[in-house]
Structure 1
Amino acid sequence: MPTIHHRTCHICEANCGVLVEVEGRNVLSIKGDPDNPLSRGHICPKGSALQDLQEDPERLRKPLKRVGCEWHEISFEQAFAEIGEKTRAILAKDAGASAVYIGNPNAHSYGNALNAGFLEKALRTKNKFSASTVDQMPHQVANLRLWGHASMFPIPDADRTQTLVILGGNPMASNGSLWTVPDFRNRMRDLKARGGKLVVIDPRRTETAKIADQHLFIRPASDVFLLVALLKAVMERTPFRPVQDFVTGLDEVRALLDRFDSTACATACGVKLDDIEALADRFTSGPAVLYGRMGVATQAHGTLNAWLISLINIAAGQLDREGGWVFGLPAVDTVGVLPPGSIGRFTSRVSGHRSVLGEFPAAAMVEEIETPGKGQIKALFVVAGNPVLSTPNGARLAKALDSLDLMVSIDIYRNATSAQAHYILPPSGPLERDHYGLFLLPMAARTIAVYSPPTLSQEDGTLHDWEILRGLAHAISGEPVQAPTPRESLDGLLRAGPYALTLEQVEAAPSGIDLGPPPIGQLPARLRTEDKRVSCDVAEFMEALAALELPVEEAAGGLRLIGRRHLRTNNSWLANSRRLIKGPDRCTVMIHPDDADARGIADGGQVIVRSDAGEIALCAEVTEDMMPGTVSIPHGWGHALPGVAMANALGKPGVSVNDITLSAIDTLSGNAALSGIAVEVAAA
């Protein structure tokens, strides 16, 4: 007899509610849950990937051990024993020789989030790397400096605003990023129905730009100059609501901005000054909000961008105001639970990068493996990550991984990274685990509490991801982990939260408990700064802004690279979902017709894209959606590895753009500077 199970899709940040119809262990259908107060019945194509991942015969069910080039299935008991023994031997020679890389899916598993620290503690390592320094760390550094806590994310109050400006973000593909906003298309229809306006600023006419009222092209990695000119323009106007008295330092920022000429800034970014002035009018005349995401973070001035975005919202009178720049108040308040974060507690061994929130830049991991000496990484634990495809200069990293004495991957596939591990430890299937959006619900467009029990029973002989982490910690340290289960911890966190809910209460509402829109008027009480003030003139940001120089004009004809994402992909980990991978080739280089004609490139033709890091070959997609002088290649492809299952997904492995990205970073956050890299494109 078929049964229907309520669940949250945990593939991406949207956290859409779904209804999963099953009979026995067979999934019959996955549909949107119309009663979910956040997603409102919306579901994107990725929802079907839950079934694909669960049922994929190529998904690993048992631990694998690599001996030479051959893989052998072993038990978890054997794997833990051997890994523990080998790790202890490595650390006995050099206590600083281990490292951990935490991948993107960890943010979608509250069990992993609550247990990864046990592995790090057992290793006693300072070498922690993660996907956070590939795409989001500038936002968290700005959060820490402005609000006093790295996890205190402001979000657009999109359901009540009149003007939404999106810079370097594409929620039509992502359903929000550092902003949980499913059903984005209908939310924008509602915005327009109440007389509002959506503006997108991006070097590509993205899926979001195509539903916007206005799209403005901007030169790659020049966002900081747009933001400087826009902040100057906003400060020249009177905001529709006065700036709050707990905000300080705006006058100091205004004085520093005097050194910049707005016309020159507009020229540098390629956005007309008239358009910038018009945006300033919108920001200061009514409920409006500026949101920036991936595009603003993955560049050399990523942290300055994140800071300036908040300053524009503050100076326009939009902070903590209905329709403006607001903060969620979730059922599990991560701001109240997690430490605020720190910067500079340690420095990396090779290049002296300072730690940011306990991490070193992912772009620096390769040099820490390659460079001999005390503290050279010899043992690497990769938790649900694929850094060979996800981090800069991936080909160089792949070569470096071969030199490790021990590499362990917690992963459900052999992929470009885990294929080089000595052990792969696969967790249980995605529908066999419970779920709570611990890190994502605090950033939701509407506040809900929703818990998903396991849809299917756990297969015999498998372990959940958190059980693997505890097993590794025990095997390495020799001491069993004494801690509540994730479910028990979640109940305690809910009880201690602002609504004093119990897990029993949340579970009794399978579509979720609706807690309303983000509450207004939380500041200054919710601030985590010592003086309960927002100090806009952050010293290190002011120093960086004072040192900022307008770019020297480049020779005509140069091309700059940006990334992109697609609704049917999610970083590097959905390549084996056959219903998602089908259809036209999506791993292409998008190029403007004028740039293509100048190089003799035809639509669909094979081209070579070169940078200082290397070259890749792929097909061209000639389109006026690209700004002239800019090309775009998607992130997360490149699964062509001999004998690796994921290379065979409908024969569409694609190529990895990170084979031609460099190890440059935003020094304020350690985030990889992937956007705006100079490239050459030529017909193959």
Structure 2
Amino acid sequence: MTTVEKSTYCRICEPQCGLIATVENGKLVKLRADKDDPHSKGFFCTKGVAMAEVVNDPDRLLTPMKRVGGPGEFEPCSWDEALDAIAASFQRLRSAHGPTSLAVHEGNPPYFSYAAAFWGKNFAAALGTPWFYGVNSEDGASRVAAFKMLYGHCAHMPIPDIPRTDVLLMIGANPWVSKMSFVHDPRVREHMTGVVERGGRVFVVDPRETQTAKVFEHVPIRAGQDAFFLLSLLHVILGEDLYDKEFVARWTTGFEVWRQIVKRFPPEATSERTGIAPEVVREIARTIGNARRAVVYGRTGTCTQEFGTLTNVLQDFVNIVTGNFQREGGWLWAWSPVETAYLAEKLNFASFGKVRTRVDNLPDSYGFLPSSALATEILTPGEGQIRGMMMIGSNPVVTGPQGQKLTEALESLEMFAAIDLYMNETNKHAHYLLPATTMYEREDAPIQFANRYMRPSFRVTDKVIEPMGQAREEWEVLDDVCKRMGLGGAHMFGIERWFAKRGIEMKPRHMADLLIRTGKGGDLFGLRRSGWSWKKYAEKAPRGVVFHEEMPIGSVRSVIKTKDRKIPMADPRFIAELERLEATPVEIAEYPLRMIGLREMNSHNSWMHNSPRLMPDKRRHHLHINPEDAAVLGLAEDDLANLASEGGQIEVQVTLNPEMIRGTVALPHGWGHAGGWQRANAAGGSTSNFLASRVEALSGISVLNGIPVRLDPVARSADVVAAAEDVAADAVAQRT
């Protein structure tokens, strides 16, 4: 038996931790943390090491499949048969109805492959279609929109300088479980606890006492009310002159408009909505305003709510008005060894509002159109109606809103092809299923993530094992389809496709090496002897390089790309959203509870539920509810209940969780499987996003947090009814 160990890194989520892969006779048998990795320094999570089970999963898709019956009914076919049929159908649709009859949808796993991420866009460009959909609308579309509106660009994103801050306000994020997003920091626990060890403070604003909140100062808030909390913070900061007058005067416009607006939102006026005591708001505001270095950071919880863009704008306003902007310990644009942001902007990878959906006029965000629009765009006749689709590593029936409607739409497509690791709840409706490689069956480099590292780093990795079965890399499949369509290949520009037809074309490795060598960390093809190339990383630093232990700080002017090089605080779109916010009712009688999502340590979206390590037989899906709320409703542990919203209804099993504040329930997303993965199917559960029906028009973000819901027991025993009546009677007695 031949056993080798190879250095590589994890590409499940954004920390990108270094790992050691053990390979026996060509088979990946084990993954473990790499203690010598300079970036992650031995950190890992259970999902990372469980990826070996995904690689070797007997339910994994390993041969091309052709649909022969209803959804999920497939039989094996050859690559040639599948690719010929897909290419012929796409070409027929393109000729008959134009390029806008075709669409591409890219999910989360392929985005962590630089080749799949770039070639997905290239494929759409080669087809000539503007319809490029993705999962950003269920994640960070509102954050991207706020970046674009405030700073004039959205590819180069600011990140919080936690290792050097004195005060951190974290809203809607739980890095003890989900690490961080739009920032890459496997050592986030160390950096956050370091704030307190230096004598600073960390406030965690969340409707649930999360694992992160337990470690620091938890500020419970009613779900979806973050904007009101931030308006009151600004009320105190501006009202008590705790802002940086020089910075505001030099780098912003419209400040006076907001100084007048926030006078309407004293903490006493917003506490009914937020549930946060006025004295707590004032203490946090004064702590931030008086600190030498402070920063506000929010993520998925603040993005995927009804006022996600406004909430993100207000978060940034706190950083801006206090002058914690391109300042040590504040809101920084990270130094990058590869010019990722420049490339993304130039190639329109990172556009906002450049393309809009045909029917609902929703914008693209970071170049992705919102999944919520997909069903309507397929089902609505007219010019630009989607008739054919290529889906790459995605499962929007489960992860997007209103998946029930999407299944109907997918069945109406004339050609639906999907490249994936499994047959899932979405691609079981495809005409052809094509097997993709996992992250350990391809070479890789974090090209698309290079500008968001807390400690600027970079590395490359070779494939750990050869592709299993007949799996192929996504970029190869997309390129082959374009070739069979007579387009030359999956390339962004016409001149590239012209050369490709003549046998001259750029492959992903060529592109990556070019970007590495011409970036700030590159060797400039030998002109900078201390610089790097792909080959040099592979040979001299297989575990990668940390370029800076602390982020270098550039000029403010260099990161503000608006026409006047100032931050437009009074953008009319912000004011319009504020007016919409103020018009919302405090409570909705028909739906008295608010539902939020919940990240689980053993889950990652919808695609890792077939691992025995992550999904043991006893694991179950639960709605988390405060025990007092449960008692009033007559619900006990493991009871079944109907959870309803204006968008739909599902059945859930409840668990009593004192971490939840009263009036808020939490349901982990990504469950409710009915695909080709047996363990995932057997685990049961319900799809939380079936309850989601609203979309924020400004950014196209799906509203997945703060959803108004109603919870009703499926059946009540006599004992449960009696207990509920006693609780209700006690509550009435206390009020009277």
Q: Please classify the TM superposition score into its range, dividing by the shorter chain length.
A: over 0.9
Q: Tell me what 1:665 maps to.
A: 695
The CA deviation at 1:461 is 4.2
SS for the counterpart of 1:132 is helix
User: Aligned partners of 2:372 and 2:237: how far apart in 1?
Assistant: 36
Q: How does 1:254-653 map to 2 (within 5 A)?
A: 254-284=259-289, 285-339=291-345, 341-459=350-468, 461-481=470-490, 482=500, 483-500=505-522, 501-507=532-538, 508-516=540-548, 517-549=550-582, 551-554=584-587, 558-582=592-616, 584-639=618-673, 641=674, 644-649=675-680, 651-653=682-684
Q: TM-score, normalised on structure 2?
A: 0.88
Per-residue Cα deviation, 1:49-89 (whole angstroms, up to 9, x for no partner): 32112111211111111011331212222211101111222
1:681 has 2:715 as partner: no
CA spacing shift, 1:241–1:53, aligned 2, 3 Å: farther
Q: Tell me what 2:525 maps to.
A: none
The CA deviation at 1:518 is 1.8
The CA deviation at 1:3 is 2.1
Q: Tell me what 1:169 maps to.
A: 173
1:195 has 2:195 as partner: no
Q: Tell me what 2:236 maps to.
A: 233
Unaligned runs of at least 5 residues, structure 2:
491-499, 523-531, 715-736
SS for the counterpart of 2:677 is helix
Partner amino acid for 2:296? L
Q: Tell me what 2:721 maps to.
A: none
1:18 has 2:50 as partner: no
User: Aligned partners of 2:252 and 2:645: how far apart in 1?
Assistant: 44
Kept after mapping to 1: 8 A contact 2:401/2:702? yes
Kept after mapping to 2: 8 A contact 1:175/1:184? yes
Residue number among 135, 139, 146 corresponding to 1:135 in the alignment: 139
Per-residue Cα deviation, 1:583-627 (whole angstroms, up to 9, x for no partner): 753521001111101111001112221122222122101111111
CA spacing shift, 1:68–1:460, aligned 2, 3 Å: closer
1:210 has 2:244 as partner: no
Kept after mapping to 1: 8 A contact 2:595/2:709? yes
User: Aligned partners of 1:117 and 1:347: how far apart in 2?
Assistant: 16
Aligned length: 679
User: Aligned partners of 2:158 and 2:39: how far apart in 1?
Assistant: 18
User: Aligned partners of 1:85 and 1:326: how far apart in 2?
Assistant: 49
1:222 has 2:225 as partner: yes
Residue number among 224, 245, 253 corresponding to 2:258 in the alignment: 253
CA spacing shift, 1:525–1:473, aligned 2, 3 Å: same
Q: TM-score, normalised on structure 1?
A: 0.95
Larger radius of gyration: 2
Partner amino acid for 2:81? Q
1:178 has 2:196 as partner: no
Partner amino acid for 2:440? L
Identity across aligned pairs (percent)? 31
Kept after mapping to 1: 8 A contact 2:208/2:659? yes
Q: Tell me what 1:87 maps to.
A: 90
Partner amino acid for 1:633? L
Q: Tell me what 2:730 maps to.
A: none
Q: Which moved more, 1:25-34 or 1:243-252?
A: 243-252
The CA deviation at 1:302 is 0.6
The CA deviation at 1:449 is 0.9
Partner amino acid for 1:545? L
Partner amino acid for 1:509? A
Q: Tell me what 1:67 maps to.
A: 68
Per-residue Cα deviation, 1:27-61 (whole angstroms, up to 9, x for no partner): 34322122223311100001113211211121111
SS for the counterpart of 2:105 is strand
CA spacing shift, 1:499–1:430, aligned 2, 3 Å: closer
After the TM superposition, list the runs of 4 or more consecutive aligned residues in structure 1 that deviate by more than 6 angstroms: none
CA spacing shift, 1:583–1:278, aligned 2, 3 Å: farther
Instruction: Provide the aligned C-alpha RMSD in A.
Output: 2.1
Per-residue Cα deviation, 1:467-517 (whole angstroms, up to 9, x for no partner): 112112223344234332211111111112122231123222122111112
CA spacing shift, 1:241–1:583, aligned 2, 3 Å: farther
Per-residue Cα deviation, 1:193-239 (whole angstroms, up to 9, x for no partner): 22222211111111211222x11111111111111111222223334
Partner amino acid for 1:258? K
Kept after mapping to 1: 8 A contact 2:8/2:462? yes
The CA deviation at 1:546 is 4.5
Question: Which structure: greater helix fraction?
Answer: 2
User: Aligned partners of 2:17 and 2:606: how far apart in 1?
Assistant: 20
Per-residue Cα deviation, 1:557-592 (whole angstroms, up to 9, x for no partner): 811111111121111110111101127535210011
